[in-house]
Structures are given as C-alpha cells and as structure tokens.
DNA sequence: TTCGTTTCAGAACGTATATTCTGAAAACAA
DNA sequence: TTGTTTTCAGAATATACGTTCTGAAACGAA
C-alpha cells in the first residue's frame, strides 16, 4: 500500500558518521546531514527519531566497524594471535591514522563531547572499549604463556596495552608527528618484553 | 574621564574556563557566561573581542595554571627532581582527577573539539604539551643518570611518559574506575624501571 | 557644575538550529 | 481504476545563538 522509502538507512548512517566524526556532535547540524545525503528531513526523523538517536546509531555503527577491524587484525591468517600480532595491529592503526581521512577515534571524541550528557552514549562508549579489551586480553594471555612479554598479571597488561592505544589516539589530535607516534608505540611495546 | 569597569577580566576568565571545560566550546554560549559572571554582554565583547578570542584566553589561562601545577610538583622541596618525583606527580594527578570537580584535560578537549578549526587554539595546545614535555625531559635525564629507569634515549622516555599522561586523561573520560587508573599508572611506571 | 568618555543593562538584529507541519506524489491492494 | 497509506520536498515554527545597538548612568577633568 505505502509509498516505498527512497533511501537506505545504512548509507545515511555512513554519511552521518563522516559528518559527526569530522565536525563533532554540536557542530554538525541536521541540515548538514540532509545536504550530504539528499534525504528529506522528514525521512531522517521518521527513521531515527531525533538528532540524539541518530548520533547513537552512528556511534553503534562505528563500534561495529571497529569490531570488524579487530577481527581482521586478530583472526587472520591463523587463529592463534600472539605478541607479534599485536605489533602488527598497532602498525595497522598507525597506517590508518597516517593515510586515512580521519584523525583520532570517534568513540573517544564522543566520550569527550557527550560524556555524562547522554547515558546511552556512555553505555556504547563503555562497550566499545570493552570490545577492544577482550581482544587484547585473549592475545596477552597467550603472549604470557609463550614468554613473549614480562610475567605480570594479565589485567595489568591489558590496561597497559589499552594505554598505548589511548595515548596514540590522543597524540594524533595534538599535532604530534607521525615519527613521534611510531617511536612511541615501538618504545612502549619494547618495554613490555622481558 | 571614563566610567570605571565593574568587573575583573581574570575572574571572567575563571568563570569562562569553568563553563567551557564543563560544556565544551559549542555547547557553552555567551549567554551562559553572562549569566554566570553577571557581566554585561557589552563588557565581554569589549574586553575579549568575540567568543573565539574569549575561548583562546581561557585556554591560555588554563595553560598557565598547569604550568604552576608543574612547578609546584617538580621544584619542591628541593630543586633536583628524579624518578620518585615523577611518581608523586602522577599521584597528584590521580588525586586531582578523583576528588577535583573536573574530569580530563581542558587542552585535550580543546584539541579534539577545535583542532584544525582555529589555528590559535592549535598553537596554544601545542605549546601546552611542550611545556609538560620540557618538565618531564629534565626529570628523566636525571633519572637516567641515577639509573632509576632503563637506559633508553631520553626522547623515547619523554614520549613514553607523555603517553602515560595521555592515557590517564583518556581513561578518566571513558568510565574507567579509579582503581583501574591507579593500577595502570603503577604498571606503566614499573615497566620503565630496570 | 558641566562636559566628554566609558560602562552598564538590556533590547534588537540577523542568522542558525531542531523539529513539526503541509500538500503533492508514489506505491500497491482492491 | 480507485482508495489508502506512506514518503517526499520544502515551508513553517519556535527557540537559541553571536553580535551590535541604544539610552541611561557613572566617573573624572576642566
């Protein structure tokens, strides 16, 4: 009976993610999304309720994209990632920050701009970092067994590696050169080894 | 001849810093500043030109406050700070994040929300982190001499310690518990030692 | 006191924003 | 075809924003 929708919600989310990531939550208006996607205002509000919900949806989509990135880093070519896999993973992130069109991490940006203002954002951000921790944990347990890293409590190692990632993300927003970033990661990983 | 000004610019900056820090650049309006300070709009624009300039002034003021914090951390009670001083310094930061009324670092927030949008902000942020690096460098040179830390190039150590700080700031915005933060700092500092 | 200058308090202006409303068009069932 | 339902495109609304303007008030010099 009804008229069929002329846009695909996922493509709207990709466009909105691009805009929110580039400009931030406040500085990106619904008019910006309309202009970029060509989708009518009515369609956006019908599909996503309001701006806050649209933002949360883009954040969830980002989380899924990063999850895919993690799987592709840690589960190929074999299913036994170890410390070398971690080094390669950070190199992938360094390459992405160097050549990709986005600086920094959308979830971290969301945490800073919307922390404590939208509980739903808080929850997604927490889950986002939990995803990453889980991948690191599995890898680090194996690295300890193989004596590739110092023999410390696994949770300490997880927190330490999360710290490397957090620092790297921060650096890429604070005018640190690519060389500085690579040196930092190399040094921080070296200090983990026995 | 003229009528005398009824407010003190520095107290306006303190109030504006509080608001910008809490809400962010976009989400804090000039009306908010007027309401909080009681100063007339005209007075604000006369003293600070416009919102961007007011923001830059608060950022410079924040930089100075942090400089004072660094001096009080590193130049007391003696003038020979070493690795133990660094550990105490991070404990001060941890305490401040735990009991203080602000979460995170205003300069880092500025970098994320306004990076690439206002060159003046970029410059102040760069200088801000350079200040901190300089303090860490002097301390780390001495720590290496005293063999309190592993014998690595000083610039690597500086980058590493800056990384600890960056990670700590990020954690305090990402729902990490106080215990997690303290564990992380302890672990990261331990790995520096021989 | 009077005059000139500056601040004050708030109105005013123009623009931008999030959201809703409106009539026409499209799709499909009957 | 007709009728019903939904989307479309854009106008409309109400608010918020950054900034400027206006007249009254305060201050100090003459």
Q: Do B187 and A126 touch (CB under 8 A)?
A: no
Tokens of A10: 């996922």
| B3 CB below 7 A from strand C atoms | yes
Which of B96, B102, B125 lies closest to B113 in space, CA to CA? Answer: B125
Each domain of chain A, given as residue ranges in start order, spans 59-190
Confidence of residue B77 (pLDDT cuts 50, 70, 90): low
Distance from CA of B1 to the nearest CA of A (A): 44
Q: What confidence score (pLDDT) does residue B176 get?
A: 94
> Is the model's pLDDT at A55 over the cut of 70?
yes
Q: For residue A2, say whether its CB is under 7 Å from any atom of strand C.
A: yes
Quick count: other Cβ atoms within 10 Å of Cβ B2?
4
pLDDT at B142: 94
| Banded model confidence at residue A77, pLDDT cuts 50, 70, 90 | low
Supply the DSSP string of chain B, one letter for each residue: -PPPP-S-HHHHHHHHHHHHHHH-TTTS-HHHHHHHH---HHHHHHHHSSHHHHHHHHHHHHHHHHHHHHHHHHSSSSS---HHHHHHHHHHHHHHHHHSS--S-HHHHHHHHHTTT-HHHHHHHHHHHHHHHHHHHHHHHHHHHTT-S----HHHHHHHHHHHHHHHHHHTTTT--HHHHHHHHHHHHHTT--
pLDDT value at residue A1: 67
Q: pLDDT of B140-194, one tens digit each?
A: 999 999 999 999 999 999 999 999 999 999 999 998 999 999 999 999 999 999 8
Which is more confident, B4 or A68? A68
pLDDT at B17: 98
Average pLDDT of chain A, as a whole number:
95
Q: Does B76 score more than 90 pLDDT?
A: no
Q: Answer whether A162 sits within 8 Å of B163, measured CB to CB.
A: no
Average pLDDT, chain B: 95
Residue A37 confidence (pLDDT) above 90? yes
Taking CB atoms and an 8 Å cutoff, what residues of chain B touch A192?
191
CATH code of the domain occupying B9-190 = 1.10.357.10
Q: What is the pLDDT of residue A170?
A: 97
Subunit contact B167:A163, Cβ cutoff 8 A: yes
Of the ranges A105-114, A125-134, B52-61, B78-87, which one carries the lowest mean pLDDT score?
Answer: B78-87
Query: What is the mean predicted confidence (pLDDT) over A163-191?
Result: 96
Q: Is A103 within 8 Å of B115 when comparing Cβ atoms?
A: yes
CATH 3.10.180.10 fits A59-190, yes or no: no
Could you say which of A27, A111, A187 has the minimum Cβ distance to residue B156? A187
Question: Closest nucleotide to residue A34 (Cα to C1')?
Answer: D9
Tokens 């939990």 — which residue? A130
Tell me what the mean pLDDT of segment B71-95 comes to. 88
List pLDDT tens digits, range A86-115: 999 999 999 999 999 998 999 999 999 998
Q: Quick one: pLDDT band at residue A26, thresholds 50, 70, 90? A: very high
pLDDT of residue B2: 76
Look at residue B168 in the predicted model and tell me its pLDDT. Answer: 98
Q: Looking at beta carbons, which residues of chain A come within 8 Å of B111?
A: 173-175
**Sorting pLDDT into bands at 50, 70 and 90, what band is B1?**
low
Q: Which nucleotides of D are covered by protein (CB under 7 A)?
A: 3-11, 16-22, 25-29
B40 touches strand C (CB under 7 A): yes
CA dist B176 and B181 (Å) reads 7
According to the model, what pLDDT value does residue A6 have? 84
Confidence grade of residue A184 (pLDDT, cut at 50, 70, 90): very high
């Amino acid at each position: 009976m009804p008229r069929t929708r002329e846009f695909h919600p996922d493509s709207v989310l990709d466009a909105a993610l691009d805009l929110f990531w580039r400009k931030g939550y406040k500085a990106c208006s619904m008019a910006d999304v309309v202009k970029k996607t060509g989708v009518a205002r009515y369609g956006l509000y019908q599909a996503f309720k309001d701006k806050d919900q649209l933002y949360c949806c883009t954040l969830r989509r980002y989380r899924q994209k990063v999850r895919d990135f993690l799987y592709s880093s840690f589960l190929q070519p074999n299913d036994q990632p170890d410390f070398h896999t971690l080094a390669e993973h950070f190199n992938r992130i360094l390459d992405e920050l160097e050549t990709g069109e986005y600086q920094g991490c959308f979830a971290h940006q969301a945490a800073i701009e919307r922390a404590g203002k939208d509980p739903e954002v808080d929850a997604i951000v927490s889950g986002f970092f939990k995803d990453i921790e889980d991948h690191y944990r599995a890898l680090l347990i194996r690295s300890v067994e193989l004596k590739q890293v110092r023999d410390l409590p696994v949770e300490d190692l997880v927190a330490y590696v999360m710290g490397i990632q957090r620092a790297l993300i921060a650096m890429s927003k604070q005018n640190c050169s690519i060389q500085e970033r690579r040196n930092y990661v190399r040094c921080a990983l070296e200090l983990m080894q026995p």
